[in-house]
Structure 1
Amino acid sequence: MSQITQSLDPSTDLSPTAGLPASLPDHTQLPDSDGNFVKNFQEPPEGDLLTDCITPILQQLHPDGQYCIGRDCGIYWRMTEPPEPPEKGAEAPDWFYVPDVPPNLNGEIRRSYVLWKEFVAPLIALEFVSGEGTEERDKTPKKGKFWVYERAIRIPYYGIYEVKKAQVEVYQLVNGRYQLMPANERGHYPIEPLGVELGIWQGVYQNQEWPWLRWWDIGGNLLLTAEERLEQERQEKELAQQRAEQERQRAERLAEQLRALGVEPEV
């Protein structure tokens, strides 16, 4: 198991299994939706962009394929009791990544991520703000997103992205509490276990121009989408062909000059 795995301690007071029977519901027995729909047209492409660019990095970190990415999927962190519905014991980040867990369970698509069945917390969770950001910063004990991610699930990195303000706040879990990370000289936030940086990129993606949340490598190079990589390869091939053609034309001109001097280039 890799060093980036964050395990939950089932003996702590906030453990989802504390005082509960061994036969607990799994992802097939818990609701996978609370009836809400995506709040705007920018959120689905943002999730696509983050996943597309980080996939080559994750494939290098996990050659065995043991990782999963969740998008608007419930992370069940506590059991509820009637009349409280089960989904009240879950939070659904807009995007999150969990290391060292299988992408599916026994050949079944994950319906949710159940902590009391896997004990591995996500390494990073990202929320895309549609309103004023109060929900994403809510520290109300046992209810607020911020509190749940920090105190219950204990996600090492938590990012709050506000497209309207073209900014992202990134928090790191230090001694059990979130601390706001300072940006580096490039205005990015290093996610050291992944060897990447998180920041804002202004551009067009899926026919929409916005200040998008994107990844860079640790040297500050933008991590490209699959389409961008293909376009880069096409441009590099085209440039190589242009250089080869220029070299061929230069050689022909030199040969003509030699012939004008009575010298055969082949000789």
Structure 2
Amino acid sequence: MATKPIETRQTIELPDHTQLPDRDNNFVKNFQEHPQSILLTESITPILEIIHPDHHYCIGQDSDIYWRLTDPIERGVVAPDWFYVPNVPPTLKGKPRRSYVLWQEMISPLIVIEFVSGDGSEEQDKTPWEGKFWLYETVIHAGYYAIYEVELARVQVYQLSANHYELIEPNERGHYPIAEMGVELGIWKGIYQNLELPWLRWWDSQGNLLLMGHELAEQERQAKELAEQMAIEERQARESVEQRLLELEQRLREAGL
């Protein structure tokens, strides 16, 4: 009696971040986008260090998120201008990520942010399997999706609710609370890296602007100068009082009192 050949089941090895391209042929659209990403990252880092004492989080800046294995590979990737993923290690096997591979780590970004460089249609595109809005809402499941338009000095923030994005209304300060991070997102008009623009920035839940390193240094410098000026004025006031007392004592002695 002939024996049947033993069937073997082939194991498919999915590629990880080291085996996938680290760019999707996109490029930074203007001189404002890179500073904007730095501004968001640097100012939020102290908050994230408190939220994650184990340092388990990652931030992507114009970095790829692979959400589906496709042929060609570029059809299964999207590159938000900025995103934050909680509760994942900052490196993988000691190496910085080349991309964020959703099927490998299984944790969705808490927030993704897109900087509008055209008319905004790309960021609002809900075309199934292609549009950014659809991908973030339906496949990637980012908890929040922010669309920032520097030319209109505005940001629209959507929150995922029952697998659908709902537009958030701003609070009394004109900011959009991101409750899980204990912060608010909004527009700040000022100068950063020699550009005076309506920048996208973070505030704490009490409405205090989260400062950059140079802003903190300037704040400390001004506080030091103020303290020094107050000390000088206090010393001058004390010396003035002491001088008047000496003059009064002199007049009393001269009057024989």
Please report the TM-score for the alignment, with normalisation by the length of structure 2.
0.91
Match for residue 49 of structure 1?
A: 39
1:178 partner SS: strand
Supply the AA of the counterpart residue of 2:47: I
Contact 1:46 1:212 (C-alpha < 8 Å) held by counterparts: yes
Aligned pairs (5 A) from 1:84-123: 84-123=71-110
Supply the AA of the counterpart residue of 1:93: P
Distance (whole Å) between structure 2 residues aligned to residue 21 and residue 204 of structure 1: 55
Distance (whole Å) between structure 1 residues aligned to residue 26 and residue 160 of structure 2: 29
1:209 partner SS: strand
Pair 1:225 & 2:212 matched: yes
Distance (whole Å) between structure 1 residues aligned to residue 104 and residue 12 of structure 2: 10
Distance (whole Å) between structure 2 residues aligned to residue 42 and residue 103 of structure 1: 26
Supply the AA of the counterpart residue of 2:207: G
Match of 1:38 among 20, 24, 28: 28
Match of 1:65 among 55, 73, 98: 55
| Structure 2 portions without partners, runs of 5+ | 1-9, 251-257
Instruction: Quote the RMSD (CA, aligned, Å).
Output: 1.3
1:106 shift after superposition? 1.2
Supply the AA of the counterpart residue of 2:52: H
Q: Percent identity?
A: 62
Contact 2:24 2:79 (C-alpha < 8 Å) held by counterparts: no
Supply the AA of the counterpart residue of 1:256: Q
Match for residue 5 of structure 2?
A: none
**CA distance change for structure 1 residues 122 and 60 in 2, over 3 Å: closer, same or farther?**
same
Match of 1:131 among 118, 128, 149: 118
1:168 shift after superposition? 0.6
Distance (whole Å) between structure 2 residues aligned to residue 244 and residue 86 of structure 1: 66
1:187 shift after superposition? 0.9
1:21 shift after superposition? 5.2
Match of 1:255 among 230, 242, 257: 242
Supply the AA of the counterpart residue of 1:37: F
Distance (whole Å) between structure 2 residues aligned to residue 199 and residue 103 of structure 1: 27
> Which string of whole-angstrom CA distances, capped at 9 and with x for unpartnered residues, describes residues 43-74 of structure 1?
00100111111111111111111111001111
1:161 partner SS: strand
Contact 2:188 2:198 (C-alpha < 8 Å) held by counterparts: yes
Match for residue 173 of structure 2?
A: 186
Match for residue 207 of structure 1?
A: 194
Match for residue 162 of structure 2?
A: 175
Contact 2:24 2:64 (C-alpha < 8 Å) held by counterparts: no
1:22 shift after superposition? 5.4
1:262 partner SS: helix
Please report the TM-score for the alignment, with normalisation by the length of structure 1.
0.88
Point out 4+ residue stretches in structure 1 off by more than 4 angstroms.
Answer: none
> Which string of whole-angstrom CA distances, capped at 9 and with x for unpartnered residues, describes residues 160-187 of structure 1?
0000111111000000000011111111
Distance (whole Å) between structure 1 residues aligned to residue 66 and residue 239 of structure 2: 71
Pair 1:77 & 2:64 matched: no
Supply the AA of the counterpart residue of 2:42: D
Contact 2:56 2:90 (C-alpha < 8 Å) held by counterparts: yes
Distance (whole Å) between structure 2 residues aligned to residue 50 and residue 136 of structure 1: 19
> Relative CO higher for 1 or 2, CA cutoff 8 Å, sep ≥ 6?
1
